[in-house]
Structure 1
Amino acid sequence: MTITAEVHLRSSLLPLVSVAELEQANEVQCPHVLGLDQGLQMFVVEIDSNQPLSEEDLLALDEVIEATELGNARGKEVFKLTAVLRESVAEAFEDTPDAGLVDAIRITTEGWYEQKVFKDYPAFKTFQTSCEEQDISVEILSITQDSSPSEESAPYGLTERQYEALSLALSRGYYEQPRQTTARELADELDISQPSLSDLLNRAERQLISATVGPQTRLEVLSQ
């Protein structure tokens, strides 16, 4: 089961937000990122600017230590930049290996807009948790399941639909305190009524409890 999520990452510590803050820059996109050693990262960026940018303009930014102009593409100036990552950002990125970039990162003064693919919902949740632990806010703009598991592959005896509902509820923060979404919003995403969503989650929760701490487990505890 593959998950594709479009997210907005917010943090003043994210690399190259300073580029978007330049007066000359109208739009900044990053189609390629390469991790380097010693807290460095290499970015290829396309900058739509209202006046020409130079390597010196970019090297004047605190985080940029190398800047090479590559030319123009699709009417934008293209640069290869090497930037120093803040320690917290480096840790957040290092903790999320099971994700891949689908499209270019759009960098604005408000952070990064990314579309990423994850191998499953737990991998997405790891990404979200890792970012938020480092004070990088993760706003979910959209999330889709590219292929659903069959009933035979769904764990703990869950049906495909139960697994889908539980996974969506978990990814949206339904089980967090305070809740980050409502049953109504989850129902709308699954295109079902709110009572149907509540019934689906209740059945799924009962199945999980039965499969993990069912009657046999209770009898073993009472017999001790």
Structure 2
Amino acid sequence: MTITTNLHLSSPSLPLVSIAEATHAGEIECIHGLSLQPDRQLFIIQIDTGEDLSEERLVTLDEVVEVTTLGQSSGKMIFKLTVELNEKIADAFDGSTDGALMDSILVTSEGWYEEKLFKDYTALKEFQSTCEENGITVEIIALTHDSMSFEDDSPYGLTERQHEALSLALSRGYYERPRKTTAEELADELGISQPSMSDLLRRGERQLLTATLDSCGYIKTLSR
């Protein structure tokens, strides 16, 4: 199962936000990012040609170390920037998070808006945890999964929907004490009603218990 997410990342220390704030439109597009050193990142950004931003002005921003103009395309100026990262942000950008960027990043004064692909809910949860541990708030705007990648032989006889609901609940801390989320919040992420979510969890839990206990012979023993 693969998970496609639309995310909003926010932190006062996120790189490029100061550049977006300097534009009339209040936004820029980041089309590529590459880690150069633990505390430095290279970005390729696009800015509308109507904006009064040049190499000279960009390099005066505190976070920007170096600027190179790459050219112009489709009404946008393209710049290569070397940016110095805040220590916390550098920890979040160390490459340990497991998520593939699906499209360019929209950078605004409110943070980053990006689409990422994760292999499963566990990878998504790890990404969220790493960001939040380093002062970056992660808001999931939209979430979908690729049902074509679900294995024909579902583990423990779970249906695809039960597996999805249980995986999401586990990744969000639903089974922790105290609970970190509610069935209603999980339902919102899957785009279903709260009763439907509760039913999926209940049926999935019963199927897991039946499959695991019956495989050990416990149910048959107790039923004698």
Q: TM-score, normalised by structure 2?
A: 0.82
Whichever residue aligns with residue 189 of structure 1, its letter is L
Aligned to 1:86: 86
Q: How does 1:32-47 map to 2 (within 5 A)?
A: 32-47=32-47
Give CA deviations for 1:122-168 in whole Å, capped at 9, x if unaligned: 1111101111111110000101102341351x434433221012233
Residue 190 of structure 2: aligned partner? 189
1:72 maps to 2:45: no
Match of 1:108 in 2: 108
Amino acid across the alignment from 1:37? Q
1:151–1:160: 8 Å Cα contact kept in structure 2? Answer: no
- Following superposition, the deviation at residue 206 of structure 1 comes to 3.5
Whether the 8 Å CA contact 1:44–1:80 is kept in 2: the answer is: yes
Q: Cα distance 1:131–1:38, how it changes in 2: closer, same or farther (>3 A)? A: closer
Alpha carbons 1:49, 1:76 under 8 Å: kept: yes
- Offset, 1:107: 0.3
Would you say the 8 A contact 1:101–1:117 is kept in 2? yes
1:85, distance to aligned residue in structure 2 (A):
1.3
- 1:105-144 matches, cutoff 5 A: 105-144=105-144
Aligned counterpart, 1:60? 60
Asked if the contact 2:183–2:198 (Cα under 8 Å) also holds between the matched residues in 1, the reply is no
Please give the alpha-carbon distance, in whole angstroms, between the structure 1 residues aligned to 2:188 and 2:25.
Answer: 41
CA distance in 2, matches of 1:58, 1:87: 21
1:165 matches 2:173: no
Deviation at 1:178, TM superposition (A): 5.8
1:80-122 residue CA offsets vs partner (Å, 9 max, x unmatched): 0000111211212225442111110000001000101111111
Report the Cα distance in structure 2 between the residues aligned to 1:187 and 1:63, rounded to whole angstroms: 38
* Counterpart residue identity of residue 9, structure 2: L
Closer, same or farther: CA 187–41 of 1 in aligned 2, 3 Å: closer
Q: Which residue of the partner structure matches residue 12 of structure 1? A: 12
Number of residue equivalences: 217
Which stretches in structure 2 are left out of the alignment for 5+ residues? Answer: 219-224
Distance in 1 of aligned mates of 2:181 and 2:49: 38
For the 8 Å contact 2:27–2:109, the answer to whether it is kept is no
Q: Judge which range, 203-212 or 163-172, deviates more.
A: 203-212
TM-fit CA distance, 1:195: 3.1
Sequence identity, in percent? Answer: 53
CA–CA distance in structure 2, aligned partners of residues 215 and 53 of structure 1: 67
Alpha-carbon distance change, 126 to 188 in structure 1, aligned in 2, over 3 angstroms: closer
How far apart, CA to CA, are the structure 2 residues paired with 1:61 and 1:55?
A: 10
What is the deviation of 1:37?
1.8
Q: Distance in 2 between matches of 1:124 and 1:57?
A: 37
The RMSD of aligned alpha carbons is 2.9
Q: SS where residue 135 of structure 1 aligns?
A: coil
**For residue 150 of structure 1, what is the aligned residue in structure 2?**
151
The worse-fitting range, judged by mean Cα deviation, of 41-50 and 87-96 is 87-96
Amino acid at match of 1:56: E
Note the alpha carbon deviations across 1:56-82, whole angstroms, 9 max, x for none: 111111111010011212211110000
